[in-house]
Amino acid sequence: MQTQDSVQVNPLAEAIASSQKYLLSLQNPAGYWWAELESNVSITSEAVLLHKIWGTDKTRPLHKVEAYLRSQQRQTGGWELFYGDGGELSVSVEAYMALKLLGVPASDPAMMRARNFILGRGGISKTRIFTKFHLALIGCYNWRGLPSLPAWVMLLPKDFPVNIYEMSSWARSSTVPLLIVFDRKPIYQVNPNITLDELYTEGVENVRYELPRSGDWTDLFLTLDEGFKLAESLNFIPFRAEGIQAAEQWIIERQEATGDWAGIIPAMLNSMLALRALDYDPNDPVVLRGFQALDNFAIETEDYYRIQPCVSPVWDTAWVIRALVDSGIAPDHPAIVKAGEWLLQKQIIDYGDWTVKNPQGTPGAWAFEFENRFYPDVDDTAVVVMALDAAKLPNEQLKQKACDRALQWIASMQCKPGGWAAFDIDNDQDWLNAIPYGDLKAMIDPNTADVTARVLEMLGACNLSIDSHNLERSLTYLLNEQEPEGCWFGRWGVNYIYGTSGVLCALALINPQKYQQQIARGATWLVSCQNPDGGWGETCFSYNDPSLKGKGDSTPSQTAWALIGLIAAGEATGKFAHDAMERGVNYLVSTQKPDGSWFEAYFTGTGFPCHFYLKYHYYQHYFPLIALGRYQAIVS
């Protein structure tokens, strides 16, 4: 006869086994795991434009892009920045542009609905700088309405208060090639030659090609921009040729052997635009490699063709290892061993851009992608170290040396406020976000609570140590970041549920007795935002409106994050939120699909808060498995 406890535990065990089987079946023969990284349609729209500009559109299945864009249009007529937002202006304008470039007439019903949506939100004049930039390349917007980017910026020394290395890695790798394009201000003839006059609410003849004023000190940048434009009109631009040459050399030097630049599509698209502006031959090896890299980011199905903004094999593989081991798979299981050895091969022992602000550091980190030797990051490196620590490999000595190198690199990357950023050290000149070009507010890479928490979790989970003074600095920083409600902001995941979960895991491992009060407040906040269905969810709009902290439809990944945080808090304080945890586990078990997977439509990854979001297609699988595995460990 079954007891009540066995009835409760069996569905949990079955859910775990089913999830493990599902993930194991998806491992690549080379050893890694890698799933789609989904964003909004602007990335694909911009790729269509690039191929039209280069004349390579006939050699790619771009006719499938039309079907993809049509499938993503919402009832409002617009295209979304993230799932469920109803439509966003700039994304919609770029999708409309791409459809026109693909030959869809303005009279098409889908285009008419899109036009009504766009005009109702202010039209092209209200779009972001990067949308206007892409339109300017084909004469659908005037270059006068874009900020100037003087090429001599490339020549500013590294110790000067303003230089390219004060930009975040992603802004730097995307901006350097644009110094060339903004200098040349090309207008390309494409086939078909389109106009977008119908998308100007005020009428194209009434457009004021000017940068918007804020009415505060940041308008000083507009005055500077007017000076730059005057110098351009007079053809008086000091060191123009030298700046262009330096930018071109920088681009060439940072291309991976695989053709990638920085492992992200914006840097890759912009670099290809720069090469086009410099009149590179289409058959130049640099160009051919660049297009091959773009093709590697494409996903083609029977009906659709779309472009990913990035690829995440290192990140996905490390998390799957942790999920499998946390849920009971043996650390020396063949799949774990193969994945661990693949990760070891991906450690980067080259010096990258990070060394400019961190000359004392030595290589030993991991990047997010297959290849990205110039831009490894702290978050990936910490997660990989924890994954390797959980695995038992044939050559444990080799593994330990790799982890030691990683620890030394991470320790050298600590920022002055005490925390860690993603890619650089002390990359925190916030005024850069106020320049007209920086309207995505993503020009810098300051230390954040979630990345700092990951480092501390790594130290605690792997029994590693750093200088005690620096450890205290990091903890002080982290505690000061706790919000009045008890939660923590999530920079790289949506949002406060993500940040709070990570910090609770860190504090529970580093010094649970000392930080019981802070841990308890964080756990109490998590319990307070549990949904009636037992799950947790948080909308991306919480970045725009803090009153939406922890509010949103339940998702498997965010439910898992909340559970992981509550389990850590319970282990640290001895006070488990049993009812909330049980309801959360029941939510995961009941929403699991027959094949062992989960599904969520919502975007729970963050690129740039308020401006760019991601759906990691594996988040809905490995985070629930971690949560269920850790829950099983405390109830068994």
- Active-site positions read 379
State the Cα–Cα distance between residues 232 and 187, nearest whole angstrom. Answer: 17
The kind and range of the H/E element at 232 are helix 219-233
Contact present, 99 and 111 (Cβ < 8 Å): yes
State the Cα–Cα distance between residues 362 and 419, nearest whole angstrom. Answer: 19
Contacts of 359 (CB under 8 A, 6+ apart): none
Quickly tell me which residue has 């299981």 as its tokens.
333
Contacts of 183 (CB under 8 A, 6+ apart): 149, 150, 151, 237, 240, 243, 244
- The amino acid at residue 296 is N
Contacts of 61 (CB under 8 A, 6+ apart): 300, 305
Cα torsion 541, 41, 89, 433: sign: positive
| Closest by Cα among 595, 599, 594 to 624 | 599
State the Cα–Cα distance between residues 351 and 362, nearest whole angstrom. Answer: 7
Q: Which two tokens stand for residue 505?
A: 């895991």
Helices and strands (DSSP H and E) totals, the chain = 22, 5
Roughly what angle, to the nearest 10 degrees, separates helices 313-326 and 4-25? 150
The DSSP 8-state label assigned to residue 355 in this structure reads G
Distances (CA, A) of 370 to 170, 310, 440: 17, 10, 27
State the Cα–Cα distance between residues 172 and 166, nearest whole angstrom. Answer: 8
Rg (CA), the chain: 25
Q: Which two tokens stand for residue 427?
A: 């990359």
The kind and range of the H/E element at 614 are strand 612-616
Q: Which two tokens stand for residue 437?
A: 């070009």
State the Cα–Cα distance between residues 264 and 442, nearest whole angstrom. Answer: 15
Residue 352, classed as helix, strand or coil, is: coil
Q: Which two tokens stand for residue 201?
A: 């609410």
Burial group, residue 1, by CB count within 10 angstroms (0-12, 13-18, 19+): exposed
